[in-house]
Structure 1
Amino acid sequence: MEEWRFLELEFPSDPAMNLAIDEAILNSILEGCVLPTLRFWRNDRSVIVGRFQRICDEVDLDLCAKEGISIVRRMSGGGTVYQDLGNLNYTIVLTDEHKLIKGLGITESYKVLCSWLQRALKFMGLNPEFKPPGNILINGKKVSGSAQLRRRGGVLHHGTLLVNADLNLMKKVLKAWRDDYKGGVIASINMPVTNLVNELEVEIDLNELKEVLKWSFEEMFSVKLIDGKLTSSEKFIAEKLYKERYSRDSWNFSR
């Protein structure tokens, strides 16, 4: 059975470091230094902007400043999202030659790399629906979204699961929810959203949820998740990316 590295590594109070770690893992995969990787992590109250979006089109900057909400630009494309400790994020990093996605187009790869999450939600008694490019809906409402970064044969697929997020604050912070929202060249998609806790109508233990998700990943892809750590090289690269990109206004407010 194929082995994958599993990382439960997060810096909730520092979304910039979380994104730097994701990119460092991608670099490591490209060098052939580590196993394909699944990572779970969370951000505290923050807005994560798509690579090609204009912040002023997407985010209420004054409200973010007032509420102490961090704003960080990611390397992957797609729309702007609000996150807090009620979100559980995941990252999948592999090469485009991996058997899971080899020969697939981008749309098809999204479907495959979201399928384990769909399986987990079905196991919980829900009826999830995959909606391209990378969303999962329950009863017509978005509970998960994802984005990809592709570089020289490497694929970084990361997404979020709305577990018990502050949806009211999200709708205030993100301009996509406003009637006068126009967006830019890359506009965020406004669709109804829901939390997993609302759909299950029970309290959710985060550790138990993670175990179900890990089980589903292993079963769906016939792999074994092995607890791991960042390599010394990944730590070095993450620190470098953090200092030179993700923590800098010149990057985060570049558009």
Structure 2
Amino acid sequence: MAQAWRLILDGKLDGPCNMATDETLLYAYEATGIPALRIYGWQAPYISLGYNQDPEQVLKKGRTTAFVRRLTGGSAILHDQEITYSVCCLRQDLNLSIRVKDSYRELCVFLIDFYRRLGLRARFARDVGELKGFGHYGNFCFSSCEHFDLVIGGRKIGGNAQRRRHDLIFQHGSIPQTLDFSRIRACINDEHINPHVCGALDILLGRPTDFSRLQEMLAESFRETFSLDCQPSALTSHEADTRDYLVTAKYSSPAWNYHRENVSIDPVRL
């Protein structure tokens, strides 16, 4: 019988708490072997940087929006009105390919189903043909488009990043409901920021979307795409302690956010 998954529907949290919770689920999987899908939002605008990005080069001086460094690679995202997901599992839990790019594509299929439920046709960029208006790899995630990014009507929708540790997969992704380009330009150094190639649900649908309803739809798409048993869950007290430790010691720390200096985790915490 297939392993039941944890389904964690969080509310809207700040940047350090969101990134700390995602990392906590990695440790939780190592401790329990139970895969997890988490779906969450952001209580205020927050920038996340890719693991290898230099904040001094990426971010504009004098900005008023805080930032946090992710565990995953890729470029900067301004999180605001959006729905975000994270998945933590073994490759075998979803029968994913060994190759990273292939597993990334296979995992993102549930997002295509999610957009279909909204009445939108999403395709992988490599299947669309020539896309105009995108720059080369830049500081802002939505300024460039890779083969397995998702595109709707010529616009890139959201961004996803994966981290692998042998067969352990962690992937998270952003699905914007709206995009505030004046704030994005005020925060991120990137000359290729182009509103005409960046997608957001409210723009594509021509109407406002509801965060709670999107959470439910995204969870349903994940469950049905992979034929899973997803059980509602929350962090245990030990996991909450680990999250709180990571918020303070790592994701609120200049040592991590500016210099990528990691912190050690005591396994007893989980």
Q: Do they superpose with TM above 0.5?
A: yes
> Is the Cα–Cα contact under 8 Å of residues 159 and 173 in structure 2 kept in the other structure?
yes
Q: Structure 1, residues 67-122: CA drift from partner, whole Å, max 9, x if none?
A: 3x1111111111111111x1111001101332431x43110111111111111112
Q: Within 5 Å, give how 1:102-181 maps onto structure 2.
A: 103-131=97-125, 132=146, 134-176=148-190, 178=191
SS in 1 for 2:241: helix
Cα distance in 2 between the residues matched to 1:24 and 1:153: 18
In structure 2, the partner of 1:89 is 84
**TM-score if structure 1 supplies the norm length?**
0.85
Cα distance in 1 between the residues matched to 2:213 and 2:10: 17
> Is the Cα–Cα contact under 8 Å of residues 51 and 76 in structure 1 kept in the other structure?
yes
One-letter amino acid matched to 1:87: E
Q: Within 5 Å, give how 1:5-154 maps onto structure 2.
A: 5-12=6-13, 14-31=14-31, 33=32, 35-43=34-42, 44-63=44-63, 67=64, 69-84=65-80, 86-101=81-96, 103-131=97-125, 132=146, 134-154=148-168
Displacement of 1:149 after TM fit?
Answer: 2.0
Displacement of 1:209 after TM fit?
Answer: 1.9
Cα distance in 2 between the residues matched to 1:245 and 1:134: 31
One-letter amino acid matched to 1:4: W
The percent identity for this pair of structures is 25
> Is the Cα–Cα contact under 8 Å of residues 143 and 193 in structure 1 kept in the other structure?
yes
Structure 1 unaligned segments of length 5 or more: list them. Answer: 182-188
Cα distance in 1 between the residues matched to 2:8 and 2:179: 23
Say if 2:207 is the partner of 1:202: yes
Cα distance in 2 between the residues matched to 1:230 and 1:208: 22
Structure 2 unaligned segments of length 5 or more: list them. Answer: 126-145, 261-270
Distance 1:240 1:191, change over 3 A: farther
Cα distance in 2 between the residues matched to 1:98 and 1:35: 10
> What is the total number of aligned residue pairs between the two structures?
238
2:257 to 228, 236, 252: 252
Displacement of 1:211 after TM fit?
Answer: 1.9
